[in-house]
Amino acid sequence: MGYSTIYAVSGNDIVYETFDGDAVVLDLASGRYFGFSDSGSCVWEALIAQVPPASLVGRTCGSGQLSAADLDAFIARLNEYGLLSPATGMASAALSPELAQRLAAAREGLKIDMHDELADLVMVDPIHDVDEPAGWPAVKQ
């Protein structure tokens, strides 16, 4: 991994929201959704805000420091899942004090959980695939 590489969300099919510090990412193309540990949510937010990985290595993360190996593995999984990709022509950004504080307060290591149990519902075309009398989320048989 290039530590000066700037990353961005892979495409328009990747949508995300942060709820009380927990990031949830949805891949609309596959119907899979992803949850992160508290430190993973912080790193996700930093990376999509164009903070280079070099700015994260060695940062206080819970009771330890964020290691290059852990960060490499986390970014590799984000790339593998198609959520994140290297960006070109983007300027790097500094880690915000608020995000640095949240990262320092994190209790869990970097982790991503992928869920696909709702993929069939996410992938349903609500105009064409829904049973009309029953309504959403009843799928036509």
SS3 at position 15: strand
In a domain, 96, yes or no: yes
In a domain, 137, yes or no: no
Distance CA 24, CA 15 (A): 9
The partner residues of 140 in beta bridges, in order of sequence, read none
Q: What angle do CA 23, 38, 73 make, to 5 degrees?
A: 90
In a domain, 127, yes or no: no
For residue 36, give its domain range: 7-122
pLDDT at 132 (0 to 100): 60
In a domain, 132, yes or no: no
Residue pLDDT tens, the chain, 141 long: 556 789 999 988 898 988 888 888 988 888 888 999 999 999 999 999 999 999 999 998 877 899 999 999 999 999 999 999 998 888 889 999 999 999 999 999 899 998 876 655 555 555 445 556 665 555 556
pLDDT at 128 (0 to 100): 45
pLDDT at 4 (0 to 100): 76
Distance CA 115, CA 32 (A): 6
Domain count, the chain: 1
In a domain, 69, yes or no: yes
Cα 137 to Cα 26, 116, 122: the distances in Å are: 18, 16, 10
Asked whether the bond before 137 is cis by omega within 30 degrees of 0, the reply is: yes
In a domain, 129, yes or no: no
pLDDT at 100 (0 to 100): 93
CB 73 within 8 A of CB 110: yes
pLDDT at 82 (0 to 100): 94
pTM of the model: 0.80
In a domain, 13, yes or no: yes
In a domain, 50, yes or no: yes
